[in-house]
Amino acid sequence: MNVRHATPEDAEAIAKVHVAGWRTAYRGFVPDAELDALRWQDRVADWRERTAPGSTVTVLVAEDDGGLVGFASSGPPRDEDLVAGRAWELYAIYLGPSTWRRGVGTALLRSTIEAVPTHVPALVLWVLDGNARARGFYERNGFVPDGTTVPSRLGPQYQDLRYRIEIPRSGGEA
């Protein structure tokens, strides 16, 4: 298994993993009809843009002999309460369901943390409160909830929780 930076040629494979991951992760939270209607073809253009040279988004992909099995995207934080330069955000991390629980997520997460600019001391992410698999994964990897919650865009009955990890930096403040 290899982790590398994505290129626009990966956009189609990333879109397929994204939709497959969504369908499995959010089954039970999002109506089946909505999940079944998702089309990877609708997401290719966005991934092409995010992986293009000059994009502010870092997209890492994991691949094995059979091709691309997962991706993680990260970049500057979107939340206004986070001071620019003091935190980075993991926007998304998705694997195809057949690849879950084999350490690929951990490898993508470690590479994402390594790719955070060296002067930035923390990484944050948003996760659905009911996504126990992902929360277990993040907690196992050292993330903790920072106490910030918002109603989820999946529906008013759900909350999104913000998690955070402080990145150890040798050599102190930049």
Ligand X SMILES: CC(C)(COP(=O)(O)OP(=O)(O)OC[C@H]1O[C@@H](n2cnc3c(N)ncnc32)[C@H](O)[C@@H]1OP(=O)(O)O)[C@@H](O)C(=O)NCCC(=O)NCCS
Give residues 100-119 in contact with ligand X (rule: CB under 6 A): 100-106
Q: Which of 136, 155, 169, 174 binds ligand X (CB under 6 A)?
A: 136
Spatial distance between the Cα atoms of 8 and 68, rounded to a whole number of angstroms: 13
Task: Check binding of 27 to ligand X (CB under 6 A).
Answer: no
Residue 76 near residue 39 (C-beta atoms within 8 A) = no
Query: Does 134 engage in binding with ligand X (CB under 6 A)?
Result: yes
Kindly tell me which of 48 and 105 has the beta carbon lying closer to ligand X.
Answer: 105
Site for ligand X in 53-92 (CB under 6 A): none
Q: Do residues 122 and 164 touch, judged by C-beta distance below 8 A?
A: yes
d(CA 121, CA 143): 13
Residue nearest to ligand X (CB): 105
* Cβ-count burial 126-154 (b if 16+ within 10 Å, e if not): bbbebbeebbebbeeeebeeeeeeeebeb
Find the part of the chain contacting ligand X (CB under 6 A) among 37-45, 47-55, 131-139, 151-159.
Answer: 131-139
Distance separating alpha carbons of residues 160 and 20, to the nearest angstrom: 21
Nearer to ligand X, 140 or 153 (CB): 140
Count, residues near ligand X per rule CB under 6 A: 20
Q: Which residues bind ligand X (CB under 6 A)?
A: 21, 25, 93-95, 100-106, 127, 131-134, 136-137, 140
